[in-house]
Amino acid sequence: MSAAPDKAMEPIRIRSDYVGAGDYLIFPDDDPLVVNTDYGLQAVDLASRQRWQADFGERCLGVCRRADGMLVASTIHGVFLVEPAGRVRHVNPTLHEIAHAPLAWQDGVLVITLSHVHALDAAGKVRWKYAFKETLGASVRACLVLGAFLVPGGVVLGVVDYNSGLGRVLCLDDRGGLRSASDVGPITYVFPVGADAYVHSISGYGRFESRCIDLDGRERWALDFGGAGTELPDGRIAMLVGNNESPTWDNWELRLLTAGGGALGARKASGHFGYGPVLGADRQLYMAGFFKPFDPAATRLDYTSLVPLPKFVIFDHLLGVKAQPPQYVVFYHRAPIDDGDIELVFADRNAIAFGPTRAGTRHVYFTHNREILAMPLRA
């Protein structure tokens, strides 16, 4: 007789007004969660009870926590300073169209628009700004930032032209000066490795590769595949590998690499991935994938970009570029770091999984439509 399912290990459905994409916050001890909504911010606990909500008058793109504990959220037309209890303290309106969640920086935040990155201090004053056209070209009007993270003495941003999909990874110093930039290409993912380097992936126009670059622009290694990744505490790298020129039903792989880019193993996952795997406190890797239902009539008629890459699908949904997103088959996985099968912990149809996976104190969090799924950690 088979053992009964362990109810304690089933995901907890946290119902909220989450828009289904964008950066959300997890407070200490996993309570509460603060999510971006169509009207602003909402704080909910694990039992789906609302703690508070903050009304901005338009869709919120994401939220971060500043060094002093204050919350900073962005909409397309403004930056909002919010107290941890939900009271809006200050609003910075902008004529530039914001297209990314804010990023905590020094005592303030970085605000990313379709054309610039602005550094704001704690009082909301602009310390510096950088125009993406300086490195992407004067003809570029709207940019998608695929990733942004702080490094010692500056910030790294993966920036692509929304229309062509071509872009560069920029490393800016803490005064907004350009320290280095990658070669131009169809950048799809970028993530940090160590304190002095990053990995960026290329997928499209017949190129599929990943390169590890230091902050001064020197290449450390290159591989002939691309995908979303994360660095593990021991320096190894876990990547979800795939491209946009394979049929929609092709599954991506979870690959483990050495710090120097050497192959350590590969395991088949399910779906395509907009974010890299997340390491839980139980030393399990968690990841969420999706793709459209199988279509036997689908053919490879288009040489490039037959399958829209997850990052672009997620961006369109977050900014409301498309009124109704396609409905996908979604997969939520857990896997041991070193070896063993990838476990499917939950799956669904006619759904989206466009938000990032986050590690909390006692749970790992997936997004499922407007819900957050809190997955208990293994003992």
For residue 282, report the phi and psi dihedrals to the nearest 5 degrees.
-90, 10
296 pLDDT above the threshold of 80: no
347 pLDDT above the threshold of 60: yes
Residues 110-128: tens digit of each pLDDT: 999 999 999 999 888 999 9
Kindly compute the dihedral angle of the four CA atoms of residues 333, 336, 342, 346, in this order, to the nearest 10 degrees. Answer: -30
Question: 25: how many CB neighbours lie within 10 A of its CB?
Answer: 19
Residue 31 is predicted with a pLDDT of 83
Residue 302 is predicted with a pLDDT of 38
Identify the helix (H) or strand (E) that includes residue 13.
strand 12-14
Amino acid at 77: H
142 pLDDT above the threshold of 60: yes
Q: How far apart are CA 341 and CA 336, in angstroms?
A: 8
Residues 237-289: tens digit of each pLDDT: 999 998 666 555 578 899 999 999 999 999 988 888 889 999 999 999 999 99
Domain limits of the chain?
244-253+268-379
**Beta-bridge partner residues of 348:** 330
Residue 295 is predicted with a pLDDT of 61
303 pLDDT above the threshold of 50: no
Average pLDDT, the chain: 88
User: Are 273 and 227 spatial neighbours (Cβ–Cβ below 8 Å)?
Assistant: yes
* Collapsed DSSP state (helix, strand, coil) of residue 30: helix
Residues 193-214: tens digit of each pLDDT: 999 999 999 887 778 899 999 9
User: Are 66 and 59 spatial neighbours (Cβ–Cβ below 8 Å)?
Assistant: no
Residue 7 is predicted with a pLDDT of 59
| CA max distance for the chain | 68
Percent of the chain with pLDDT over 70: 91
Residues 32-45: tens digit of each pLDDT: 999 999 999 999 99
Q: How far apart are CA 83 and CA 71, in angstroms?
A: 6
Please state the pTM of the whole predicted model. 0.90
Residue 335 is predicted with a pLDDT of 95
Residue 201's Cα: distance from chain center in Å?
Answer: 14
Contacts with 134 (C-beta within 8 Å, 6 or more apart), sequence order: 178
188 pLDDT above the threshold of 70: yes
66 pLDDT above the threshold of 60: yes
